[in-house]
């Protein structure tokens, strides 16, 4: 069977056609695409989109169907993709020295991009859309949800591990009267976070979470766990345990996945170097005898509208920043946002918020929604 016939047969499992009239159907511009995708799987699918070899009216709908039909299981991974997965599971790619790679490659690429793509508070994680109509409302609802789950009170000292551009630190200081120390490995994030939090009881530090000192009433980590790496999960929870008071609360907000041992090779190469999304069992095992999980909240479907809102902002404001980038970057970034939205829509990925208390804590924790 030819490569084209094989690919057409696979796509039919997801109800996808080449040259069809549905918004999820493919238009192939380069005949070599069929053999390339069969050889390279998901990595080749993303790279060939960046190269302009194919298009679809709605890439997010296409990738959703790819996930739902589990088409990746029918395509062999390229040797480079197989090696990337093996390396991710065998080697510690997130040592204190290597942890800064993702900071330089992704978060330092330009605050101008993120200021145009994100909400007004610059929260770069899933919003909470239960009662929200806009991205700004969804992100403020998420930040307030976290503050309520942490049961913040005025005067408390809070550590924010992986503070980003300071969205949580600023919100918590303004709305709940707490003092916040935020740590990040991104120079650009630290610089802008310091500007955004000026005049508030917020300290932003440019440092690895493993170098942080002090003891805090509360510890929070939002969208940071994805960069920790499985070799460091236990260390991560030990650090959080050492930083939070015995009667304190640790709130972990992270993406979770059903396939923790198979990180996406395209995302690791082009978007988040050395990233690894944790699985449920990994989080439980790494936190055992340190923390009790007193609440586990999954609202992964909310990442779909969050990512689509980011995509809309990015496309709408692209003319303001395109001089700094190029068309290949535009296609790469749109594929990133739309394919990620699809992964949450298809429940391949999730968003988990875990409330944890140090093992042996006697106070009662009541779940917040």
Catalytic residue among 147, 163, 197, 340: 340
Please tell me the distance from the alpha carbon of residue 79 to that of residue 146, in angstroms, as a whole number: 42
Residue with tokens 């790619």, as numbered in its chain: 93
Please tell me the distance from the alpha carbon of residue 62 to that of residue 255, in angstroms, as a whole number: 22
> Can 340 be counted among the known catalytic residues?
yes
Please tell me the distance from the alpha carbon of residue 151 to that of residue 248, in angstroms, as a whole number: 10
Residue with tokens 């000026």, as numbered in its chain: 198
The residues, any chain, with a CB within 8 Å of residue 316's CB and separated by 6 or more, are: none
Residue with tokens 């080697």, as numbered in its chain: 91
The residues, any chain, with a CB within 8 Å of residue 68's CB and separated by 6 or more, are: 14, 346
Residue with tokens 């298009």, as numbered in its chain: 55
CB distance 253 to 352 below 8 Å: yes
Please tell me the distance from the alpha carbon of residue 314 to that of residue 308, in angstroms, as a whole number: 10
CB distance 235 to 174 below 8 Å: no
Q: Active-site residue numbers?
A: 340
């Amino acid at each position: 069977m030819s490569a084209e016939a094989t690919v057409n047969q696979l796509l039919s499992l997801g109800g996808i056609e080449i040259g069809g009239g549905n918004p999820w159907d493919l238009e192939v511009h380069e005949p070599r695409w069929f053999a390339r995708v069969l050889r390279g799987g998901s990595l080749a699918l993303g790279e060939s989109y960046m190269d302009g070899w194919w298009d679809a009216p709605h890439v997010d709908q296409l990738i959703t169907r790819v996930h739902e039909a589990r088409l990746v299981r029918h395509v062999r991974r390229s040797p480079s993709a197989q090696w990337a997965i093996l390396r991710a599971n065998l080697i510690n790619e997130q040592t204190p020295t290597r942890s800064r790679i993702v900071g330089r490659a992704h978060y330092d690429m330009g605050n101008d991009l993120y200021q145009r793509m994100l909400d007004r508070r610059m929260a770069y994680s899933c919003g909470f859309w239960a009662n929200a109509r806009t991205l700004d409302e969804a992100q403020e609802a998420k930040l307030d949800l976290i503050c309520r789950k942490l049961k913040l009170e005025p005067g408390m000292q809070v550590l924010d591990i992986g503070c980003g551009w300071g969205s949580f630190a600023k919100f918590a200081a303004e709305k709940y009267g707490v003092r916040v120390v935020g740590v990040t490995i991104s120079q650009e994030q630290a610089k802008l976070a310091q500007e955004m939090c000026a005049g508030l009881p917020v300290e932003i530090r440019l440092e690895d979470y493993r170098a942080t000192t002090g003891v805090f009433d509360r510890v929070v980590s939002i969208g940071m766990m994805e960069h920790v790496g499985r070799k460091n999960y236990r260390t991560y929870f030990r650090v959080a345990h050492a930083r939070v008071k015995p009667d304190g609360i640790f709130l972990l907000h992270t993406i979770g996945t059903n396939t923790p041992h198979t990180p996406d090779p395209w995302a690791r190469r082009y978007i988040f170097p050395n990233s690894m999304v944790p699985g449920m069992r990994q989080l439980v095992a790494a936190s055992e005898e340190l923390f009790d999980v007193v609440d586990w909240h999954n609202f992964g479907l909310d990442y779909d509208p969050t990512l689509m809102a980011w995509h809309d902002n990015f496309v709408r404001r692209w003319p303001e920043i395109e001089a700094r980038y190029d068309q290949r970057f535009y296609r790469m970034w749109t594929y990133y946002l739309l394919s990620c939205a699809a992964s949450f829509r298809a429940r391949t990925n999730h968003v988990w918020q875990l409330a944890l208390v140090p093992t042996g804590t006697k106070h009662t924790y009541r779940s917040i929604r």
